[in-house]
Amino acid sequence: MKDFLLRIKERFTQPQEEEVEQGENYVELQNEASGKDDKAKVLVRPFVMEEFEDIKDVLDVLREGSTIALINIKPLKDKDLVELKRAIAKLRKTCEAINGDIAGFGEDYVVAVPYFARIHRNAAVEE
């Protein structure tokens, strides 16, 4: 009986070992969970706005919907205040259109987020 069970075990284990050694009869499977994790992750991406045209890249990633944009506006603020106001207005309109949010972060940064996030604002203390 013991010999019989050993022969059955050998028959089931040999083809698997041969397939591994040959390398021809296997199928590579991708982990489906890894693809879901990449889509579920949120990217926080810094931007530097040196001129008005730099706003296009920011708007594109916000429209995709999975990126939070941290925008350094200091170079454009030092260069041309009118262009800065124009860029911020365009950014604000896009955030409204995608149900996102936008806020100043210090004097030199603006944060823009897509629909899934909101920016916390401290309520004004009334005295």
Q: How does the average pLDDT of the chain come out, rounded?
A: 81
Nearest-CA neighbor of 89 among 78, 77, 102? 102
Domain 43-113 is of which CATH architecture? 2-Layer Sandwich (3.30)
Higher pLDDT, 65 or 28: 65
Residue 32 has pLDDT above 60, yes or no: no
CA distance 102 to 85: 14
Alpha carbon distance 56, 8 (integer Å) = 67
Model pLDDT, residue 22: 46
Rounded to the nearest angstrom, the gap between the alpha carbon of residue 76 and the centroid of all alpha carbons in its chain is 26
- Domain range annotation of the chain: 43-113
CA angle at 43 for the pair 35 and 103, rounded to the nearest 5° = 150
pLDDT of residue 19: 43
Residues 6 or more apart from 99 whose CB is under 8 A from it? 114, 115
Q: Which of 34-38, 108-112, 116-120, 122-126 has the lowest mean pLDDT?
A: 34-38
**Stated pTM of the model:** 0.64
* Paired tokens of 45: 């991406």
Supply 17's token pair.
Answer: 């070992």
Comparison of pLDDT for 5 and 20, the residue scoring more: 5
* Residue-level pLDDT at 122: 81
pLDDT digits (tens, 9 = 90+) for 58-109: 999 999 988 999 999 999 999 999 999 999 999 999 999 999 999 998 899 9
Q: Which residues contact 58 (CB under 8 A, 6 or more apart)?
A: 47, 49, 69, 71, 91, 112
Residue 9 confidence (pLDDT) above 60: yes
- By three-state DSSP, how is residue 42 classified? coil
CB contact set of 35 (below 8 Å; sequence gap of 6+): none
